Amino acid sequence: ETGVTQSPTHLIKTRGQQVTLRCSSQSGHNTVSWYQQALGQGPQFIFQYYREEENGRGNFPPRFSGLQFPNYSSELNVNALELDDSALYLCASSSEGGDEQYFGPGTRLTVT
Amino acid sequence: GESVGLHLPTLSVQEGDNSIINCAYSNSASDYFIWYKQESGKGPQFIIDIRSNMDKRQGQRVTVLLNKTVKHLSLQIAATQPGDSAVYFCAESDNYGQNFVFGPGTRLSVLP
């Protein structure tokens, strides 16, 4: 196990609703990245947080937003959910200056 | 945008044989590459990485080869075991480990 935890494990939401996913990074890691993984595809980079600031963003609309807290845990918020947002959401933590990312088990989001 | 792809979506090998998983990337500025293994219901697990100033790196039963001339990456698994059955992703970064771009994945099946 990597020491990265995510909650909840599974979530079902209705189109138009808002969702918050949570991630606790591995001890000593101050960088968290979020990815969206659609079924049968590779993870797609959403954004990265470093010391509570957004530090890079992929090709996702503004309704995908995030936060990182002083203890380096993180949240991913998605507003106005769409059916295509159904996916596995992964967070990965890394240490300062470290490239290797350690992934959590993911949150499976289903939008109906 | 830049993308990472795989030649073979599925690969079946006999237990004990060597496996070779291939990956093509298109961003000539990528300077860091990682191979991940993802088992069902789990997040990606780091296998091995390589920087663009190297062309080969070996780990325990795994070897990564990088050919920058043709923008090709491969993962070799020696003496493939049933526990190696999973989906394998290559990922690239051109920004010191930020904004990783993942390929679609190759499913490796190990036959008894």
CB contact under 8 A, B100 and A33: yes
| CA distance linking residue A11 with residue A7, whole number of Å | 9
CB contact under 8 A, B43 and A103: yes
CB contact under 8 A, A56 and B99: yes
Q: What pLDDT digit, counting tens, does each position of B24-74 carry?
A: 998 999 999 999 999 988 899 999 999 999 999 999 999 999 999 999 999
Query: Can you tell me whether residue A85 is helix, strand or coil?
Result: helix
For residue B95, the Cα-to-chain-centroid distance in whole angstroms is 19
Residue B97's pLDDT is what?
63
DSSP per-residue string spanning B35-72 = EEEE-TTS--EEEEEEETT-SEEE-SSEEEEEETTTTE
How many CB atoms neighbour CB B38 within 10 A? 23
CB contact A100 to B (< 8 Å): yes
Number of CB pairs < 8 Å for A and B?
A: 66
Say if CB A81 and CB A14 are below 8 A apart: yes
Residue A11's pLDDT is what?
96
Task: Look over chain B and give the mean of its residue pLDDT values, rounded to a whole number.
Answer: 89
Residue B1's pLDDT is what?
38
- Tell me the C-alpha to C-alpha distance, in Å, between residue B112 and each of A16, B10, B19, B44, B61: 48, 17, 14, 25, 19
From chain B, the residues in CB contact with A94 under 8 A are: 97
From chain B, the residues in CB contact with A103 under 8 A are: 36, 43-45
Tokens standing for residue A69: 């807290």
Amino acid type, A23: C
Extract the residue ranges of chain A whose pLDDT is less than 70: 1, 97-99
Which of A4-27 are b and which e, b meaning 16 or more Cβ less than 10 Å from the residue's Cβ?
bebeeeeeebeeeeebebbbbbbe
